[in-house]
Structure formats: C-alpha cells, structure tokens
Chain A
Amino acid sequence: MRGKINLYWQLVKPLQSGLLLLTGIAGFATAKCPVLNFFTFSGLVVSLALAIGGSTAFNMVIDSDIDLSMGRTRKRPLPSGKLSTRQALTFAALLSASGIAMALYLSPLYGLLVAAGLFFDVVVYSLWLKRRTPWSIVWGGIAGAMPIMAGRALGTGRVDLIGVLLGLSILLWIPTHILTFSMKYYDDYRRAGIPTFPSVYGFKTTRWIIALSSIGAALAVGIGILALGLSWGYLRLLGILSVGLLGLAIYSIKNPSERVNLGLFKYASFFMLGSMLIIMAGTVL
C-alpha cells in the first residue's frame, strides 16, 4: 500500500508542484485579504494542489513514451510499468476534476483561471506543441503563471495589473529553469525527438535567452513588488537575489559548462522561492 502511494506521489512531482502551489499562495497573500480565513485559505491550498497535481499527472501520461527513451526518466512509475496508463489517467482525472470543482465553488473567476492553467499545460503545451516547437515553453510558462494570478484573483475578486506582472515574472522565470535543464539533458531530448532551444538555436543563443529572461523575471517581480507597496527592504533583498541570478547567467555565457548550467538551474529555483517568500512576508507581516 505504502509503495503504491509512493508511486502516485511521484506522478505529481512534489517539488515542482510545491513550488507552483507556493506561487499561488503568494498571489493570494498579495491581495492583503485576511489570509488566515481558514475556509478560503485551505480551499485555495487544496484546490490548487489538486489541480496542479492533476495536470502534472496528465503530463506524465502524455510523456510516458518520451520518458521511456530518456535515462533520467526511465524509472518513473509509467515507463517502468509500475503503474498502468489507465491507473495514472484515472488518478489525474480525479485530481483535476476535484481541484477545478473546488476552485469553481470558491469563486467562478478563480476556478476559470485554474482551469485555464490546466488547459494550457495539458492540451496546448504537452499534447499540441511540446513535440512540434521549442517555443512550446512559452505556453508552458503561461500555464505556470496561472496559479499566482489565480491566487491573487481569489483574494481581490478580479484580474489586475499586479496579478499580470506577477504572472509575467513566473512566465519569464520558466525559461531560466527549463532551458538550463534542456541543456543538461541535451542528448536525452534529442534522442527522444523533442525540439528544444539548444537543439534548434544552439547553446550560445540559449544561454543568452536565459540571461535575458532572468533580467525580465527580476524586473517583473521587482515592479510587482513596487506596485504592491512593499517596503524598500524587500526590494533591496530582491535586488540582491536578482544580481546573483544575473551574474550567474552572464558567467554561464562566458564560462559555459554543465556544472555552471546546473548551478544556474538551482539558483533560479532559489530565486523564485525567495521572491515568493519576499512577497508573502512583505504583504502579510
């Protein structure tokens, strides 16, 4: 039983989903609504966790043939045969449907945004574009931006400029995250026939795109924090984290290596985690 739970747990990629869930909580916190309202807050956490987990599980099903051809992912529950496609699909559908239903119950606008995120991620990104164009990551990015926008919309009752800016910061952060990953596993993606920026435009262009998107993400979250009226201290801290991200991105252009790429990938995760904690602390405390 425990082993089975562990297999389903792997289907939702807890770390990645957790980070996206955190962006949704941060978006909700920015609305300066009473975030300790137990019903709404726990509703947000549960509905987002279910919807994000569901869409991740759907992606696992869609990508199971790719996962089988890549060394890094071969041992995942679906390609290794430990879970059947039917089991994974049922699980994904259950999570997604209950997540969206709960989100719609909380607020129709919030539910719509959560459903849109799932649609962009599963249908547009994974099913339609991922195997056709490296630009699919833009749509993956839009899907990734939905939790923070949805969280804010649940708190404010509307989609506003601040929500869009915060969403934009996630959208621009995602290339830093995904492209460093696609450089590290370049051979795997090539073998699986997935078009990535490194395979289509080369490593040098990809590194430039990473550096530029890092600047964009830092600017978007910085303007968002300014618009939220957070104190200068938070902006200073964000500035420091941004300098580190930008510095590492430039260093990776000048001294390219797999180690630096992986470091940039990890730093980008720290950056986004830090940005979300800054937003939450700045608005709630």
Chain B
Amino acid sequence: MKTTVLSKLVLLLMVLVSSYQVVAGMNMFSSWSVFYFTLAFGVLIIAGLLLIIFGYSILSNPMVVVVAALIPLGMALGLICASFPSLHIPYLIFSTSGLVLIALTRKSPWGTLVLVFFHGLAGVTLFFLPILLWARGSSPGVLFISLGAGIIGLGGMLLGTAQMGKPFLPQKLLFSLLPWILLFMSLAFSAGLRYL
C-alpha cells in the first residue's frame, strides 16, 4: 500500500520531533541513558524516513521485528538507567539477551512467544515505571512516558494482529493511523523525558 502525502507529512513531523529530542532533549541524563534514548529515537528517525521512502511494504521485512524491538528496549533501558541505576546491568543483560533471542527465533515456532515476552516486558516497564516514579514524588509530567508506552503498545498490538491474519482494523485504516501513532508516541516520550 502506498503512503499518502498526509501520512508522509505526519511521518516527517515525527522524524523532526525525534531529531529535536536527540539533539537537545537529553542533555540532562547520564551518558548511558543518552546512549539508550538515542538508540530508541534513532530507530524512530530511520524508520520514519524509510516509511516515507519505501512505503508500508517495508514492514513485511523480517528485520523490522528485530530493529523495532530496540524502541521499547532502548527507552526502558534509558529510563531504568536514569531512575534506578542499580538495576542498569541486570536490565541490560535482560534486554541484550532478549534482542539476541528475538533475532535467533525469528523463523522458529517460538518466535512470536519470545517477541511478545521481551517486547511486552519492555513495554510494561515503560508503562509502569513512570507511574511508580510519580507515586514517589516525581512530577506528573513523567506520566507522558506511560502515555507514549500505551500508544505504541496499542499500535504494536494492532500491527501484530494484522500480521497474524486476525486484524482488529481494516489494513487501510490501520496504515493511515500508523503515522499518527508514531507521532503521538514520540511527542509523549519527548514530553515525558523533560520531567524525568
């Protein structure tokens, strides 16, 4: 399916928001957090540009599943590193092994299970950690990260069910929503990181 002009514009906006975040939105964090957030936003930037250039057909490339996992894993790692530094190494081991396992089991019958486990756990971390931080006295603005996690979780589920052949939404509607999902997710993550 071809990408419409509006979708391309929304994707471009998402690329600009993510680029701004990489340039100016993470200078207050430690080097490790900056590295992980850069990884996550970097995937968003490149994904946005590739979607503009190649259209949605690129989503069927088997590499996309592995690379896309870097978004929640990178964000969650950066968040852990910034708020619970003592958990950095254990979470790094979890994330790295998750990424390796996702790549290795791509074509095996276990692939979906491994993907859902690691992707899901990173998503859960991203969703609940800001709520925990808020409960401990952080600014409510940090909840924007939870909002971003919720948005990408919804997007991931919609795409996942479509790829499994049991779509919640017609493909055309899903693809017209995808750029907006990516834009609002990057906006929510960018807003939330300001309050971390």
- Which residues of A are interface residues toward B (Cβ below 8 A)? 231, 233-234, 236-237, 239-241, 243-244, 247-248, 259, 263, 266-267, 270, 274, 278, 281
Contact = CB atoms under 8 A, between A and B. Distances in A.
A249 to B, nearest CB: 13
Interface string B17-30: 00100111011000
Contacts of B23: 231, 233-234, 236-237, 278, 281
Given A233-B23, A240-B38, A278-B23, 7 more contacts: A233-B24, A237-B19, A237-B22, A239-B38, A240-B45, A243-B46, A259-B54
B49 interface: yes
Contacts of B42: 236, 239-240, 243
Interface in B1-58: 19, 22-24, 26-27, 34, 38, 41-42, 45-46, 49-50, 53-54
Contact of B49 (A236, A244, A259, A281): A244
Ranked nearest first, the 10 interchain pairs of A and B with the lowest CB-CB distance are A233-B23, A240-B42, A244-B46, A266-B53, A237-B22, A263-B53, A236-B38, A236-B22, A237-B23, A240-B45
Interface in B100-138: none
Q: Which of A231, A244, A259 has the most CB of B within 10 A?
A: A244
B63 to A, nearest CB: 9
Nearest to A266: B53
Contacts, number: 48
Nearest to A241: B45
The binding surface of chain A is classed by DSSP as helix
A256 to B, nearest CB: 15
The binding surface of chain B is classed by DSSP as helix
A270 B22 CA distance: 17
A263 B54 contact: yes
Contact of A233 (B27, B49, B50): B27
Contacts of B45: 237, 240-241, 244
Nearest to A274: B19
Nearest to A281: B23
Contacts of A263: 50, 53-54
B22 to A, nearest CB: 5
Nearest to A262: B53
A252 to B, nearest CB: 12
12 contacts: A231-B23, A236-B23, A239-B42, A240-B41, A244-B49, A248-B50, A259-B54, A263-B53, A263-B54, A267-B53, A274-B19, A281-B23
B82 to A, nearest CB: 17
A247 B43 CA distance: 12
A238 to B, nearest CB: 10
